[in-house]
Amino acid sequence: MKLPLAEAFHRIGYGSGVPRTNQDGKNIKLVLEWLCRRHLPLIELAAALDIPPTNYSRRKDRDDFPNYDELGRFAGYFGLSALALQIAFGLRDKDELILLDADGMRQYVEQGGGENPVPKTAGRRVRRLGLE
């Protein structure tokens, strides 16, 4: 029995080759560079995950990259909010935005989370947190 090419590749360990992106269509490298406000070489991204650069080169093109754990590692390494990244990349529900502190919410909005998702009725609180 012949398998469709995409399914055959998936079964032997090759994903679709399209890594996970945030809700704005940006890959993790672009998001991290934006939030860190600097270029991040491949070797530093590999170090953040504690894997050799050659493994990172292969891993970054997989369709399950970055996963939940990898987003947490990136956040820890670069001093970012793991929760904000996990929500942005669709691995946690947007209802959990309420759990973010002011810095985490800023990161979520900056990386492509759109406008501030806090309801307008909470205007005073939003201004106090410096999000508007």
| Residues lower than pLDDT 70 in the chain | 1-17, 113-132
Domains and CATH numbers, the chain: 21-129 (1.10.260)
Model pLDDT, residue 8: 43
pLDDT digits (tens, 9 = 90+) for 69-98: 999 999 999 999 999 999 999 999 999 999
Model pLDDT, residue 112: 81
SS3 of the chain: the string is CCCCHHHHHHHCCCCCCCCCCCCCCCCHHHHHHHHHCCCCCHHHHHHHHCCCHHHHHHHCCCCCCCCHHHHHHHHHHHCCCHHHHHHHCCCCCHHHHHHCCHHHHHHHHHHHHCCCCCCHHHHHHHHHHCCC
Model pLDDT, residue 67: 97
> Is pTM, for the whole model, over 0.75?
no
